């Protein structure tokens, strides 16, 4: 079964808007686990506008499910991940001022850098996923660099889904097939929601994991957090 990892960045953003500890990020993460999520994802950014580095340190000993830390692997981020040893680290090619992730790695262009970073993470027993566009060459480069998985950037799929779902999904089906041939695990994330997730999963039923935050937290405003976690889980069955 494809695992659901819930990105809690938006909960942290809401907390930070007023200061203090409301909503309580740690309790929310534990509740999301209890509601059925298979993992918790965070993506700390240099300005700490939502998840803070200190949050990651507080979360690590409390979580019972898989912990996935995303981010650009500068020395600060890498030092924290090597220290905390999450189950998974997802490398994302974000510039420091990026609002949200909007493209994957050019894995051949950054091959030397990626090999070094991936090697350091895997020495600590951390599974490494590389955020990539659905392009076979990028996936082949991820395998050559030593990644364990790729995370397919699904923004273009989500944007094209309403117009023509089959055409929007086609590059991802091909990319996933190539990743599978190369022995890579396959994750997916970005702009997946209750309208487009089920179709995507039917096209690639061997997905290992999806990471969803913004849409899931937005849906929780209407349906409630516990209900929404289970609604997303049902899309993956």
Query: Could you give the residue numbers annotated as active site?
Result: 43, 70, 190
The token duo for 99 is 């609002």
User: In terms of DSSP bridges, do strands 3-7 and 88-91 run parallel, antiparallel, or are they unpaired?
Assistant: unpaired
CB 107 within 8 A of CB 92: no
Q: For residue 47, what are the contacts with CB-CB under 8 A and spacing of at least 6?
A: 96
DSSP notation for 23-41 = S-HHHHHHHHHHTT-SEEE
The tokens for 52 are 């803070």
- Chain centroid to CA 216: 13
Dist CA 215 CA 191 (whole Å): 7
CB atoms within 10 A of CB 193: 16
Residue showing tokens 């991820």? 142
Q: Is the peptide bond before 8 cis (omega within 30 degrees of 0)?
A: no
End-to-end distance of the chain based on CA atoms, in angstroms?
7
Would residue 129 be called left, alpha or beta, if left means φ above 0 and alpha means ψ between -120 and 50 degrees? beta
């Amino acid at each position: 079964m494809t695992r659901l990892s819930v990105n809690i960045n938006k909960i942290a953003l809401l907390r930070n808007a007023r200061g203090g500890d409301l909503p309580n990020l740690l309790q929310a993460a534990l509740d999301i686990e209890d509601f059925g999520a298979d993992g918790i994802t965070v993506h700390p950014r240099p300005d700490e506008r939502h998840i803070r580095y200190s949050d990651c340190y507080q979360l690590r000993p409390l979580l019972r499910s898989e912990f996935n830390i995303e981010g650009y692997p500068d020395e600060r981020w890498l030092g924290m991940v090597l220290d905390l040893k999450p189950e998974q680290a997802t490398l994302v090619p974000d510039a420091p001022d990026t609002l949200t992730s909007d493209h994957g790695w050019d894995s051949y262009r950054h091959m030397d850098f990626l090999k070094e970073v991936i090697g350091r993470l895997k020495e600590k027993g951390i599974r490494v996923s590389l955020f990539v566009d659905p392009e076979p060459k990028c996936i082949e480069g991820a395998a050559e660099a030593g990644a364990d998985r790729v995370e397919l950037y699904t923004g273009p799929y989500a944007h094209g889904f309403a117009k023509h779902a089959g055409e929007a999904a086609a590059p991802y089906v091909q990319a996933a097939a190539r990743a599978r041939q190369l022995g890579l695990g396959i994750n997916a994330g970005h702009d997946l929601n209750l309208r487009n997730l089920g179709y995507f999963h039917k096209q690639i039923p061997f997905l290992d994991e999806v990471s969803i935050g913004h849409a899931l937290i937005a849906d929780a405003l209407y349906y409630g957090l516990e209900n929404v976690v289970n609604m997303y889980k049902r899309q993956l069955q």
